[in-house]
Structure 1
Amino acid sequence: MERLTDHLIVISFDCLSSLDFPTLVELPHFQELLNHKAYCKNVKTIYPSVTYPCHATIVTGKLPNRHGVINNTLLQPGNPSPDWYWYRRYVKGTTLYDEAKKANLTTAALLWPVTAKANIDYNMPEIFANRPWQNQVTVSLLSGSPLYQLDMNRRFGNIRKGLSQPELDDFVLESTVQTIQSKKPNLLLVHFTDLDTQRHLYGFSSVQAHEALRRHDERLGRIIGALKQSGIYNNSTVIVLGDHSALDESKAIKLNVLLRKTGLIKVNKRGKVVDWKAYCKSCDGSAYLYVKNDNDHETKSILKKLLDELTKDDRNGIEKLLTNEELCPKGADPNAYLMVEAHQGYYFTEGLNGELIDTITAKDVKSKKYTVASHGYSPDKKNYTTVLIASGKGIRSNAIIPSMHLVDEGPTFARLLGLDLGDTDGRIIREMLI
Structure 2
Amino acid sequence: MTRLTDHLIVISFDCLSSQDHSILKDLPHFKELLSRGSLCKNVETIYPSVTYPCHATIVTGNFPNRHGIVNNTFIQPGRVSPDWYWHRSHVKGTTLYDEAKKAGLTTAALLWPVTAKADIDYNMPEIFANRPWHNQIAVSLFNGTPLYQLRLNSRFGHIRKGLNQPELDDFVLESTVATIKEKKPHLLLVHFTDLDTQRHYHGFSSEEAHAAIRRHDDRLGKIIGALKESGIYEKSAVVALGDHSALDESKAVQLNVVFKEKGFISLDQRGRVKDWKAYCKGCDGSAYVYVKDSSVKKDVEKLLYDLYEKSSNGIQQIYTGEEAGAMGADHTCTFMLEAELGYYFKDKIDGDFIHTITPEDVKEKQYTWGSHGYSPKKEKYSTIFMASGKGIVPHKEIESMHLVDEGPTFARLLGLDLGITDGKALQELIDE
- Name the TM-score, length of structure 1 as normaliser: 0.99
Q: Which residue of 2 aligns with 1:15?
A: 15
Matched residue type, 1:393: K
Q: Which residue of 2 aligns with 1:270?
A: 270
Q: Which residue of 1 aligns with 2:404?
A: 407
Q: Which residue of 1 aligns with 2:319?
A: 322
Q: Which residue of 2 aligns with 1:284?
A: 284
Does residue 115 of structure 1 match 2:112?
no
Give 1:33-432 correspondences, 5 Å limit.
Answer: 33-293=33-293, 296=294, 298-432=295-429
- Could you report, residue by residue, the CA deviation over 1:80-122 in whole angstroms, capped at 9, with x for unpaired residues? 1000000000000000000000000000000000000000000
Structure 2 CA distance for aligned equivalents of residues 369 and 171 of structure 1: 26
RMSD: 0.5
- Could you report, residue by residue, the CA deviation over 1:274-333 in whole angstroms, capped at 9, with x for unpaired residues? 11000000000000001124xx2x211111000011000000000000011211110111
Give the CA deviation at 1:269: 3.0
Among the aligned pairs, what percent are the same residue?
68
3-state SS of 1:35 partner: helix
Structure 1 CA distance for aligned equivalents of residues 411 and 78 of structure 2: 40
Deviates more, 1:322-331 or 1:256-265: 322-331
Matched residues, number: 431
Structure 1 CA distance for aligned equivalents of residues 152 and 21 of structure 2: 32
Matched residue type, 2:378: K
Gaps of 5+ in 1: none
Deviates more, 1:331-340 or 1:4-13: 331-340
Matched residue type, 1:236: S
- Could you report, residue by residue, the CA deviation over 1:224-248 in whole angstroms, capped at 9, with x for unpaired residues? 0000000000000000000000000
Structure 2 CA distance for aligned equivalents of residues 267 and 211 of structure 1: 44
Structure 1 CA distance for aligned equivalents of residues 350 and 107 of structure 2: 46
- Could you report, residue by residue, the CA deviation over 1:52-95 in whole angstroms, capped at 9, with x for unpaired residues? 00000000000000000000001111111000000000000000
- Could you report, residue by residue, the CA deviation over 1:366-418 in whole angstroms, capped at 9, with x for unpaired residues? 11110000000000000000000000001101111100000000000000000
3-state SS of 1:419 partner: coil
3-state SS of 2:404 partner: helix
Structure 1 CA distance for aligned equivalents of residues 113 and 199 of structure 2: 19
Structure 2 CA distance for aligned equivalents of residues 131 and 16 of structure 1: 31
Matched residue type, 1:16: L
3-state SS of 2:300 partner: helix
Matched residue type, 1:311: Y
Give the CA deviation at 1:268: 2.0
Give the CA deviation at 1:270: 2.6
Structure 1 CA distance for aligned equivalents of residues 260 and 68 of structure 2: 29
